[in-house]
């Protein structure tokens, strides 16, 4: 019995599979989606040369120079804030984001941070704007 062997050239064009293309597109979209801007109430923030972007905030407090205080975009008094923070406490990893105008005295910011810590939060993020050099 004689076996016949053929010597045909095999065309080897390497193509990227469709799953690889989809995987690369997903990675690209995930990287690009991190450049979204933060939303919230307009406030003039103090500047910082070492400011970094944080996207894990879950609670937002905005403090204006005229004494108005907003908790998650709803106006609230300083006396009501600790109770609202305790009610919304889920776990120690929650981040509270403070946006305060640049002319507010430091002692008022410290008092606000004390209220936040007394409600059980450990991670406090103070929002800043980026200063042009």
pLDDT bin (cut points 50, 70, 90) of residue 14 is low
Q: What is the pLDDT of residue 67?
A: 87
Biggest CA-to-CA distance, the chain: 100
Please give the average per-residue pLDDT across 35-55, as a whole number. 59
Q: Which segments of 18-90 does DSSP mark as H helices, in order?
A: 18-33, 81-87
Contact 83, 116 (CB under 8 A): no
Could you state, in order of their start, the residue ranges of all structural domains in the chain? 47-130
In words, the CATH class of domain 47-130 is alpha beta
- The pLDDT of residue 40 is above 60: no
| pTM of this structure | 0.56
At 62-114, the pLDDT tens digits run 999 888 999 988 999 988 998 998 888 888 778 888 888 888 888 998 899 89
Contact 63, 127 (CB under 8 A): no
Contact 77, 61 (CB under 8 A): no
């Amino acid at each position: 019995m004689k076996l016949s062997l053929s010597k045909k050239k095999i065309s080897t064009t390497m193509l990227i599979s469709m799953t690889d293309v989809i995987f690369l597109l997903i990675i690209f979209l995930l990287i690009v989606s991190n450049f979204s801007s933060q939303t919230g109430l307009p406030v003039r923030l103090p500047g910082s040369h070492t400011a970094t972007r944080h996207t894990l905030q879950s609670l937002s407090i905005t403090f204006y120079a005229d004494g108005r205080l907003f908790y998650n975009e709803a106006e609230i008094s300083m006396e009501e804030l600790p109770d609202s923070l305790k009610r919304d406490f889920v776990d120690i990893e929650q981040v509270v984001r403070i946006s305060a105008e640049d002319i507010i005295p430091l002692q008022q910011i410290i008092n606000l941070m004390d209220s936040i810590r007394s409600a059980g939060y450990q991670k406090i993020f103070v929002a800043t704007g980026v200063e042009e050099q």
